[in-house]
Structure 1
């Protein structure tokens, strides 16, 4: 976590846009909760009108249709508002993460230019390229989607729990019972995902380094007639990289399945 403190300077640099994005996160979640309330009000309205009809032996369809049309219009308005707010939410936070990614890549490239020749002899080209591509991409995911979805989740949980407690505290407690088990399962699976992601990243570095060495030494490869060996080596590395990616995708699918099953029970 200490290494993440280095990124704070980028958060300060784009703090205004991030704050605007968080504002749209809150407003978008509030807009998302209103339709459920309106639908409940619509059903209550229908029940009330039916009860009145049983007592008065007549049902005023015009008044009922008028009120339902108002609720339907409000549903459409809130849906459009949520779509607009979510667009500006992503337009601020995700674009900021892209700008930070651009700044970090420039900083790393400038640092590479100041390094000595011994550094490039010690480390493979694939590792060096991987640092400025895959590693920076993971940083962008942390500063962009991870930050946005964390804020979105926290805001949504607070608003939903508040609304649920007002409606039924007992039912809210029943719903919250599976959360500790769900948290434990998600932690175990996410730990496995991080481990496999590291392996995939290393395999990608090895693959990139293999291609770079084959291209840079193409004259030697042809001189010693090593084309078939290079091709077979590349196939082996590519196949291993593909299998690791498939294994990671299977673990990711387990992650979503565990979340869905836990929520269902």
Structure 2
């Protein structure tokens, strides 16, 4: 291209048009790749189920939002290359460069922070969760007692023992519906049972158990090297903010 400019076959206007066209093609290809990544993330979660057991990937939604904003800024810059006579490179690319810099720093922070938390959670899970064999024995004994008594304080005690012994509260996806299905009692009956005897709603009852577990770990010197966030997440809370809110409420 330098040779063609020197020989006079191309002028500055031709070069600017070529650069704008090349940028437009690159943008379209990036949009295509971005859409393919989104399909893998949201349509094929079975490909990374092991990751979902430690990370709900909510941060990916923020990444998608920031990535979408970057693509919009890029599209505006490319459009200005073709239609604007006053705003030309490099000025039309300044917002894009700023947005890209913010995205890069944010990804770096997320990567470092989540890696530390992930390592803590892997070690914590091995330390605090009971093995599946012992849970099966407890589960069968507790279920028989619960199903014999559908009402009353004895049924609540059996239900509470079942939840605690099997560490059901450590599951961040635990809901009234799936627990009642597992216990083979109606969700309304289970909700009423907890409201009467625990004097709490189902979410508050479960969160209180999670806070109790987190408090026990935080006061144990064997777990002093772990981050507070990792302990909160591994005790069943879905996010750092949810853990902090519940901790203030129940302590």
TM tier, smaller = 0.3 to 0.5
Greater relative contact order structure (CA < 8 Å, 6+ sep): 1
TM-score normalised by length of structure 2: 0.32
Structure richer in helix, relative to its length: 1
TM-score, scaled relative to structure 1: 0.31
